[in-house]
Amino acid sequence: MRIVTSLFFVLTAIASIAQDSDLPNDFLSKDFHKERRAKLRVNLPANSVAVFFANAVRNRANDVEYVYHQDPDFYYLTGYKEPDALLFCFKDSQRAANGSTYNEILFVQPRHAQREMWTGRRLGEQGTKDVLGFQQAFNNSEFSRYNVDFSKFDKILFFDFKNDVRDNPRDSSDLYDLIIQFKSKVKYSERNAASLAVEPPKNNLDTKELATQMANLRGIKTKEEIELVRKAVSISCIGQIEVMKAIKPGMSEREIQGIHEFVFKKYQAEDLGYPSIVGAGHNGCILHYIDNYKPNVTSKELILMDLGAEFHGYSADITRNIPVNGKFSPEQKLIYELVLKAQEEAMKITKPGTPRQALTDTCRAVVNRGLVELGIIKKDEKHLYFPHGVSHHIGLDVHDRGGPNLEENNTVTIEPGIYIPDNAACDKKWWGIAVRIEDDYLITKNGYEHLSKIAPRTVKEIEDMMKLPSVFDNFELPDLKKVNEKSKSGN
């Protein structure tokens, strides 16, 4: 028994050494998360507590789960990337049974040698204290015995439940159970939820205010966050540049997607901020086209590519459009330059104090005027060629929390577009042209920094970039048919 125990400790020690040396060291620091919780606490209403749940594990099929992604609010406040966890931030200090005081408490999934062997390392309560700097961290199985009197708070702030969490019957303290236990402790009932939606609260439960609180915090990026956004944006720009050099007629939409995503991975981006959009010709008219199944793009098509790497949680959101043969047709160029003009006009008013809606209004005015001049619409005609707004915050979400007016240290997009589907009510020479130009900006004291400016944006910059050789020019893989024939024949 002693031998087994010490062997266990040796193995655990080796595992944690491997864990430390395997991890990049440029994630958000524990001080960042701690300082964000402190800031939240300052902003919370009197005598309140804010409650946050980790994201659910989602089942893909049978015994395979979707890759886990932490809830961005939870990650922002804790740095914790694992499921089945619960955070309380108290406005005022609480007194524990042993007389000590605390103003935050985290419940996390426990260490479990066998499960960690299958699904990966866990921090556990001690790791949460050591790595994330929490003083009060407990295994989630402790939550059922956690006996704060929730009726004493004037407000309990949390995001309402969506009733879309599965129970893992083998785990009696998973997220599903934590939610049930929480509901019972705070006297939440589905009837409360319905009345909260239409009437002022009759109890101390508040499912509305936390969104504003978190938007106020997350919309203004700190220096550490800006560095990560900057990295995500630069990586995504390099993806665009490499595709501009590599694209050839006959490539598939998915192969183009693969080049972008290979670049993301080469630079250690863990994830995508959103599913990659690569649409050739009329496919670009589907705003969030993620099928990417066209097997070969043709020489005269314009390809709309909207992709963003997620680096250490932070997402870019960049769209470029390139002619497959390296040269814009006259019609493509006219539409492209109209969208570019709209973006340039919006950039002129991009500074603190400008409502993001004003960016949309500016772009819409330029596009509408231009479409009339090109004879694509008649004056004042309602149309669907530009059906979306042009600006949102980016950060831990691609559509990040943040306020309606631009403020210093916001990170936002400006993304006008024109989409003319086949059979549109205009000359058919315009059909199948879809253009969205999307860039990422850091709002500064007096204006903005154009974070994605290294991705060629004017017609000339794009055409010049497309003339350059590519590292993928000589990249060839064997013919799959021949490989299959060979494998069938056994030779």
Q: How far is Cα 207 from Cα 204, in angstroms, rounded to an integer? A: 10
Sign of CA dihedral 231, 232, 233, 234: positive
- In the numeric block, the tokens 């620091």 are attached to 29
Q: Of the candidates 204, 292, 362, 413, which one interacts with Mn ion according to CB under 5 A?
A: 413
Give the residue with the Cβ less far from Mn ion, 127 or 416.
416
User: Binding to Mn ion by residue 317, rule CB under 5 A?
Assistant: yes
Residue (of 259, 215, 260, 480) closest to 356 by Cα position: 215
Would you state the structure tokens that stand for residue 437, as one six-digit string?
């130009």
State the minimum distance, in angstroms, from the CB of residue 322 to ligand GLY.
17
Q: Which of 471, 447, 457 lies closest to 318 in space, CA to CA?
A: 457
- By a kind-dependent CB cut-off of 5 to 8 A, residue 274 interacts, out of Mn ion, ligand GLY, none, with ligand GLY
Told to check if 306 binds Mn ion by CB under 5 A, we report yes
Half-sphere exposure of 313 (CA within 13 A, CB side): 25
Sign of the C-alpha dihedral, residues 280, 286, 289, 293? negative
Binding mask 448-487 for ligand GLY (x = CB under 6 A): ----------------------------------------
CB-count exposure of residue 463 (10 Å: 0-12, 13-18, 19+): middle
Question: What residues numbered 32-61 form the site for ligand GLY, per CB under 6 A?
Answer: none
Helix axes 330-348, 459-466, angle to 10 degrees: 120
Binding partner at 255 among Mn ion, ligand GLY, none, C-beta below 5 to 8 Å by kind: none
**In degrees rounded to 5, what are phi and psi of residue 453?**
-70, -15
Q: Return the number of the residue (179 or 285) whose C-beta is nearest ligand GLY.
A: 285
Enumerate the β-bridge partners of residue 411. Answer: 442
CB of 104 to ligand GLY, least distance (A): 33
Question: Please, is 491 exposed, middle or buried when counting C-beta atoms within 10 Å of its C-beta (0-12, 13-18, 19+)?
Answer: exposed
- 402-408-410 Cα angle (round to 5): 35
CB of 148 to ligand GLY, least distance (A): 40
- By CB under 5 A, tell whether 55 contacts Mn ion: no
x/- mask, ligand GLY, residues 272-311, rule CB under 6 A, reads --x-------------------------------x-----
Is position 242 an interface residue for ligand GLY (rule: CB under 6 A)?
no
Q: Which is nearer to ligand GLY, 124 or 416 (CB)?
A: 416
Please, which residue, 193 or 347, has the CB nearer to ligand GLY?
347
Residues of the shown chain interacting with ligand GLY in the complex, contacts defined by CB under 6 A: 274, 306, 317, 398, 415, 438
Residue ranges in contact with Mn ion by CB under 5 A: 306, 317, 413, 415, 438
